[in-house]
Amino acid sequence: MWRETVVGIVLAILALALIVSIAPLLRWRATLTSPGDQVSVLGLVLALILGARALVWLAPVRTWTPQVFHTEALGPALRALLRSPLDFLLTLLLFAALVMLGFDFGERIRHLVRHRHAHLPAGEIGRCLR
């Protein structure tokens, strides 16, 4: 029983370390000018987010509030993902982070395209729109 608790705490600390390392990567990505470098950092951030979620998913959850969250009501596929209320919250936060990164990536692409079109001569803009 105590070993499961210690394993859960250690995995949670490792996952937290991965999550904390994301902020400096995002700040560093803001300084990069090459789209390829930005996509590489985005891939690294996605790997860190998924790695942190996988570490917490590996944590033993047998003792995490079974009297409140009844997984028997879920189907087999959802039961594997949502084993406890904490798993539900973390899965929700994972999807929110993925959506935020997707919107940020789209905004950066939009800004890059708009910035490139701003430097075209007037005759070139008309040709690009045709």
Distances 45 to 6, 23, 52, 100, 115 between C-alpha atoms, Å: 27, 9, 11, 12, 25
DSSP 8-class letter at 121: -
Q: Which residue has the tokens 């959802």?
A: 78
Q: State how far the Cα of 7 lies from the Cα of 13, in Å rounded to an integer.
A: 10
Q: Within the chain, what is the greatest distance between any pair of CA atoms?
A: 73
pLDDT tens for 25-70 read 888 888 887 878 888 998 999 999 999 888 888 877 666 655 555 6
If one counts the domains in the chain, the total is 1
Enumerate residues 6+ apart whose C-beta is below 8 A from 14. Answer: 55
Q: Which residue has the tokens 């990505």?
A: 29
Alpha-carbon radius of gyration of the chain: 21
pTM > 0.85: no
pLDDT tens for 102-120 read 898 888 888 877 776 655 5
Supply the range of the domain harboring residue 94: 2-129
